[in-house]
Amino acid sequence: MAILRDAPINDIIEAITSELKKIKTITAPEWAVYVKTGMHKERPPMREDWWYVRAAAVLKSVDKLGPIGVSKLRTKYGGKKNRGHKPERFYKGSGNILRKILQQLEKSGLVKHQDKTVHKGKVITPAGKKMIIEAMKEAKKIYSKRESEKKAKVETARPQEKPESVPNQDISQKKEVKQDRPEKVQVSEKPAEKNG
């Protein structure tokens, strides 16, 4: 079974994203083109499929932290806002985006609501867990393939090392050069006599 350490989290999120795109119930609303993901952001996301990437990240967060609700997810996806010359301040992420994503994930059967003693919120279902495990396996394959290609590229780019063979005459010339050097003159350590 694949575990989280086998591949970088970005590869796992991308693999989950590609699986979520196949589900019909998970779609970006019309206003997703214009909206920012939080008050701390200056511009909307640049990726066209950012909704699916965020849904994949939320699914992974629910798996790791569940039961979890919108409020804690807002804190997780928040950040510091640049307020000019004033000090930066932390602002929570958009609750509407996270709420809609959780609703879509619940409608598709990947998460469900659960009350667990004091804690209540969304937890992952077996179908969601299976999707994450399959995505981890896929990400591990892609990561190991990329690493092997990188190693092969480095080995082919590295120049072949040639053994150095030194002819005997070169060594004798080096010895002659050493012999031509003048020897060090020893300075006597006697103190100079004062005239007096």
pLDDT value at position 158? 65
Rounded average pLDDT over 144-169:
70
Would residue 172 count as lying in a domain? no
Give CA–CA dist 130/121, Å, rounded.
20
Rounded average pLDDT over 114-133:
86
pLDDT value at position 116? 73
Percent of the chain with pLDDT over 70: 77
pLDDT value at position 11? 86
Would residue 184 count as lying in a domain? no
- Structural domains of the chain, count: 1
Helix-helix angle 126-157:9-20, to 10 degrees: 130
Residue of 117, 119, 137 whose CA lies nearest to 66: 119
Would residue 67 count as lying in a domain? yes
CATH of the domain at 20: 1.10.10.10
Residue of 52, 96, 104 whose CA lies nearest to 74: 96
Percent of the chain with pLDDT over 90: 19
pLDDT bucket at 87, cuts 50 / 70 / 90: very high
Would residue 192 count as lying in a domain? no
In the predicted structure, residue 136 carries a pLDDT above the cut 60 = yes
In the predicted structure, residue 183 carries a pLDDT above the cut 90 = no
Rounded average pLDDT over 118-144:
87
Query: What does the radius of gyration of the chain's CA atoms come to, in whole angstroms?
Result: 33
| Contacts (Cβ under 8 Å, ≥6 apart) of 132 | 12, 16, 59, 60, 63, 124
pLDDT value at position 169? 56
pLDDT bucket at 99, cuts 50 / 70 / 90: very high
1-37 pLDDT per residue, tens: 555 567 788 888 888 898 888 888 889 889 888 888 8
Would residue 43 count as lying in a domain? yes
On whether the CB atoms of residues 100 and 15 are closer than 8 A, the answer is no
Which range marks the domain in which residue 131 is found? 4-146
Rounded average pLDDT over 147-163:
72
pLDDT value at position 166? 55
Helix-helix angle 50-65:95-107, to 10 degrees: 80
Burial class (CB in 10 A: 0-12, 13-18, 19+), 20: buried
Would residue 28 count as lying in a domain? yes
Helix-helix angle 126-157:50-65, to 10 degrees: 110
Q: Give me the chain's average pLDDT, please.
A: 81
Would residue 40 count as lying in a domain? yes
Cα→Cα distances 26→21, 76, 146, Å: 7, 21, 30
Tell me the residue type at 28.
Answer: A
- Asked which of 44-53, 146-155, 184-193 is least confident by mean pLDDT, the reply is 184-193
Would residue 158 count as lying in a domain? no
